[in-house]
């Protein structure tokens, strides 16, 4: 009985040296738990350390994380983010345009002024969210085959 108690004494780490319950460590030198995908997406952070900024400028992914030196140039989500944004933003804008038209019946120039002002910032914000989420998901699911 005392042997069992000694094995499970508080503060002792499992044989692999990592705290119990954590996610598997990334390949390479960084061994901390991965940040959640929602945090990577909302804050635009590195998918491995969760600290370094993911973007340089509005929509460009950095080639490397400034904190953990993760190579981000291999993370290419392709057309995934624009397609996701089109499918989300398109219906919102069309429904909005119909609603404004039938509710207020404004002159045509009002539509021409309103919708670019609404669509452009929304598209940039959604693109950042979608790109960061895709990079995070790609890093989580494909890092072994990407050699990261």
136: which strand partners?
Answer: none
Q: Is 68 in the site for Zn ion (CB under 5 A)?
A: yes
* Spatial separation of the C-alpha atoms in residues 94 and 120, rounded to whole Å: 14
Our CB check for Zn ion shows the closer of 65 and 133 to be 65
Q: Is 70 in the site for Zn ion (CB under 5 A)?
A: yes
Find out whether 46 and 54 touch, Cβ atoms under 8 Å. Answer: yes
CB atoms within 10 A of CB 73: 10
* Spatial separation of the C-alpha atoms in residues 50 and 54, rounded to whole Å: 9
Task: State which of positions 109-128 bind Zn ion (CB under 5 A).
Answer: none
Q: How many CA atoms lie within 13 A of 69 on its CB side?
A: 4
Q: Is 61 in the site for Zn ion (CB under 5 A)?
A: no
Using the contact rule CB under 5 A, the part of the chain among 68-76, 78-86, 117-125, 127-135 near Zn ion is: 68-76
DSSP 27: S
Among 26, 49, 81, 135, binds Zn ion (CB under 5 A): 49
Q: Is 52 in the site for Zn ion (CB under 5 A)?
A: yes
Nearest distance in Å: CB 38, Zn ion: 17
Among 25, 37, 67, 118, binds Zn ion (CB under 5 A): 67
Q: Is 46 in the site for Zn ion (CB under 5 A)?
A: yes
Using the contact rule CB under 5 A, the part of the chain among 13-21, 46-54, 75-83, 130-138 near Zn ion is: 46-54
Find out whether 36 and 132 touch, Cβ atoms under 8 Å. Answer: no
Our CB check for Zn ion shows the closer of 28 and 82 to be 28
Among 65, 72, 85, 126, binds Zn ion (CB under 5 A): 65
CB atoms within 10 A of CB 10: 4
């Amino acid at each position: 009985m005392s042997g069992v108690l000694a094995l499970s004494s508080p503060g002792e780490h499992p044989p692999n040296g990592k705290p119990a319950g954590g996610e598997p460590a990334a390949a390479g030198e960084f061994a901390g738990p991965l940040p959640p995908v929602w945090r990577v997406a909302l804050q635009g952070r590195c998918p491995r350390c969760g600290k370094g900024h993911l973007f340089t400028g509005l929509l460009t992914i950095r080639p490397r994380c400034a904190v953990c030196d993760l190579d981000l140039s291999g993370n290419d989500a392709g057309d995934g983010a624009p397609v996701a944004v089109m499918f989300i933003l398109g219906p919102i804008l069309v429904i909005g345009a119909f609603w404004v038209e039938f509710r207020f019946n404004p002159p045509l120039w009002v539509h021409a002024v309103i919708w670019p002002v609404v669509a452009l910032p929304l598209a940039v914000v959604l693109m950042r969210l979608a790109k960061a989420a895709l990079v995070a998901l790609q890093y989580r699911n494909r890092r072994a085959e990407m050699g990261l």
